[in-house]
Structure 1
Amino acid sequence: MTAHPLTAYKVLTADQLAQLERDGRFEGSPVDRADGFIHLSTEAQLPGTLDKHYAGQTGLSIAAVDLGSFGDALKWEAARGGDLFPHLYTPLLLETVTAYGPLQHDDSGRPRLPIAG
């Protein structure tokens, strides 16, 4: 059995990040709510998520999420290409976000991960 990472990432629009900061929780994007869970991505999955779901969008942020905080509310489920993605079946709480910041890319075009400050 493969060990799952302890951190996953959520892509947020400016309005979604403002809601998370204001309310201390994020109930999910329209797609999240329609699917019944909050979509997260591992570091390796993040570039594909950005390409598939956020191409051409600006004003995005990335939130690093501590997966150890969710217990049974976090499930690893097959999605794109059969890959196991972290799905959160509870609101995302600001207290579980270890770092966040604007989406930036390194010289090779990969997204830069937010670093706790």
Structure 2
Amino acid sequence: MSEASSKPSYVYKLIPSSAVPPDPLPERLPVSELDQTSGFIHLSTAKQIPGTLKYFFREDSRVYVLRIPYDAIDKDMKWEDPKAEVCGPRGGEGLFPHLYNGLKLGKDEVDSVQVWETGKDGGWDDALNKAESWLVY
């Protein structure tokens, strides 16, 4: 994201159903293996969520989506290209938000959580349509 670009209101963290976030959220959620290996927390903008679901959650039938106010984490954010060798080219999605704050994501950063399930066709379109008013583009 360039300096001239406007900052999003929110960024999102997708979590597989195998890693159910506790309710209420703790100070620090467990970190995924990918985030641990990368040294930062992988996030998506609302526009990037469909591609993230397609490439990384195609085997899941349920995900947890955490909505994070951008202003609360702005100082620890970097906008970077995704590694094409992991998921292939993701044309048109731009740079991705990555949180570099010592891998801390919990109740202080997250303002809302939704549970999304795939539709009868096994795709995410129904969940995305239902969440349309919750996702901020």
TM-score (norm 1): 0.80
Corresponding residue number in structure 1 for 2:75: 72
Corresponding residue number in structure 2 for 1:84: 95
CA displacement 1:24-82 (0-9 Å, x = unmatched)? 22252110111111000000000000100010212311110111112431111122447
Corresponding residue number in structure 1 for 2:125: 109
- Consecutive unaligned residues of structure 1, counting only runs of 5 or more, are none
Amino acid at match of 1:85: F
Corresponding residue number in structure 2 for 1:58: 61
> Alignment length, in residue pairs?
113
- Are the aligned partners of 2:61 and 2:118 in contact in 1 as well (CA < 8 Å)? no
Larger radius of gyration: 2
Corresponding residue number in structure 1 for 2:31: 28
CA displacement 1:8-37 (0-9 Å, x = unmatched)? 11111342512882x322252110111111
TM-score (norm 2): 0.69
Cα offset, 1:97, TM superposition: 1.1
- Consecutive unaligned residues of structure 2, counting only runs of 5 or more, are 83-89
Q: Name the SS of the counterpart of 2:61 in structure 1.
A: coil
Give 1 or 2: higher helix fraction.
1
Give 1 or 2: higher strand fraction.
1
Corresponding residue number in structure 1 for 2:109: 96
